Structure formats: structure tokens, C-alpha cells
């Protein structure tokens, strides 16, 4: 799994459309302007990383 070093938090706005991976390892497609969701595994706030 390749990802950038930049972490995005739940509730922040997505600035770059693409696939993101949460701390639990779940990949999710997000569009520009969406808000980063809660973790789909735990239901809690999480960090998201852009997947290359």
C-alpha cells in the first residue's frame, strides 16, 4: 500500500479526488468537496491517507 505522508482527519474537506485509506486499512473513493468520513471499520474519527 503506497500513501503520502499527509494525514487528513475526519470532518476535513477533500481537496483532491481519489482513493484514500483510513488507519484501519479500508480504501474509500472520495470526491473533491466531500468531507472525510468516520472510519468505516470502527465508526470513530480517523486519519485518512491518499492512496497512490
The whole-number pLDDT of residue 4 equals 55
Range of the domain at 33: 3-51
Number of compact structural domains in the chain: 1
β-bridge partners, 47: 9
pLDDT digits (tens, 9 = 90+) for 1-52: 444 579 999 999 999 999 999 999 999 999 999 999 999 999 999 999 999 7
Burial code (b: 16+ CB inside 10 Å, e: under 16) for 4-27 equals eeeebeeeeebeeeeebbbeeeee
pTM value is 0.86
Amino acid at each position: 500500500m503506497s500513501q503520502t505522508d499527509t494525514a487528513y482527519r475526519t470532518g476535513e474537506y477533500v481537496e483532491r479526488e481519489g482513493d484514500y485509506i483510513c488507519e484501519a486499512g479500508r480504501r474509500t473513493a472520495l470526491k473533491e468537496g466531500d468531507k472525510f468520513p468516520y472510519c468505516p471499520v470502527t465508526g470513530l474519527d480517523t486519519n485518512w491517507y491518499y492512496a497512490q
